[in-house]
A = this chain, B = another copy of it.
Amino acid sequence: MAVETRNMRKFLNDPSQVVKESLAGLAAAHSDLVRYDAAAQIIVRKDAPKRGKVALISGGGSGHEPLHGGFVGMGMLDAAAPGEVFTSPVPAQMLAATKAVDGGAGVVHIVKNYTGDVLNFKLAAEDAADEGIKVTSVVIDDDVAVQDSLYTAGRRGVGATVLAEKIAGAAAENGADLTKVTDLVKRVNDRARSFGVALSSCVPPASGKVIFELPEGEIELGIGIHGEPGRRRAALGTASEVVDVMVEAVVTDLKAKRGSKVLVFVNGMGGTPLLELYLVYGEVDKKLRKAGLEPVRNLVGSYITSLEMAGASLTVLELDEELIKLWDAPVHTPALRWGV
């Protein structure tokens, strides 16, 4: 065990137990908010199920922390089903999460568009329906970089997931019904676009090896959160040049009206310091205004990561008054908290 971990710059005990041990640590740190069901490998809101409240769950491979376990709590997710690193959770986890949070008003599955996640959530939803639970599913596919990818038919789901979880979670907390909460997830996905870039690979704990080779001085434009190839490799330019590519890709695809209010999410992939993320935010803000959009809300930090990958993604969400109100509503989770 020690021999394996010695090939990496990581805090690990048994690499095969990293997800379980991390989830246990999350629950120990935030026992006021969540509990960890180790048998089912799910993180559940402490006070779930809440009678009459629509519940939201999400899940997917680990290695993208704080997504999703860090977003379980008041005003966001009711449960998360984390798979092993970069590996879909199994249907039994999603079913256990669904059953743990169902309060009779239905459960929304927020599914990032990766083939394994989509398939396993579908099976879990069918099983839950067989047990009399109303389930709706929304597949998030906001990444404009590429059509089809290593693990995905269609576009990948990335940053919009965080925004949908926050916004739809606020509506559910306020008593919205299953149709309304589901529609909000869809609306956020419809009105959000993302594009990511990588300046380095990351190293999954189990293998101890980089998942792709990216020489210093090169950038992968349109990277996926598991290192899936993007649109192209290029020589790394200035931050301004890189942000030009990101903003152009997102704005062109979003097709928002001039003067639209937007939420700007500058997300770190894990290994890029906040010093740089704020520099990037400054560039994004200027370029979006030049493109006729008005950033009125933002989120800057590492919220949907690829372990310690150096890089960043940009998500732009076109807002309306209802989305702004739901974004501003109180939230209390391990990773996002305000208003409470």
Interface residues of chain A, those whose CB is within 8 Å of chain B, are: 1-2, 5-13, 18-19, 21-26, 28-29, 62-63, 65-66, 70, 85, 199-200, 216-217, 235-242, 270-283, 285, 298, 300, 302, 305, 307-308, 310, 312, 332, 334, 337-340
A275 near B18 with CB under 8 A, answer yes
B305 near A237 with CB under 8 A, answer no
What are the residues of chain B within 8 A of A25 when measuring CB–CB?
278-283, 285
Select from chain B the residue with minimum beta-carbon distance to A289: B28
A279 near B2 with CB under 8 A, answer no
A28 near B282 with CB under 8 A, answer yes
B276 near A11 with CB under 8 A, answer yes
Q: How far is the CB of A264 from chain B (nearest CB, A)?
A: 8
Given A199-B9, A282-B21, A300-B29, A308:B310 Cβ within 8 A:
yes
Given A7-B217, A216-B7, A282-B22, A63:B275 Cβ within 8 A:
yes
A276 near B12 with CB under 8 A, answer yes
Copies of this chain, count: 2
What are the residues of chain B within 8 A of A19 when measuring CB–CB?
275
Question: Chain A interface secondary structure, helix, strand, loop or mixed?
Answer: mixed
What are the residues of chain B within 8 A of A302 when measuring CB–CB?
274, 302
9 contacts between A and B (CB under 8 A): A2-B235, A2-B241, A5-B238, A11-B276, A12-B279, A29-B298, A62-B275, A271-B271, A300-B334
Q: How far is the CB of A60 from chain B (nearest CB, A)?
A: 13
What are the residues of chain B within 8 A of A6 when measuring CB–CB?
216-217, 235-236
Q: Give the distance in Å from the alpha carbon of A85 to the alpha carbon of B239 in the complex.
A: 18
What are the residues of chain B within 8 A of A8 when measuring CB–CB?
216
Q: How far is the CB of A76 from chain B (nearest CB, A)?
A: 15
B9 near A310 with CB under 8 A, answer yes
Q: Give the distance in Å from the alpha carbon of A274 to the alpha carbon of B62 in the complex.
A: 11
Select from chain B the residue with minimum beta-carbon distance to A63: B275
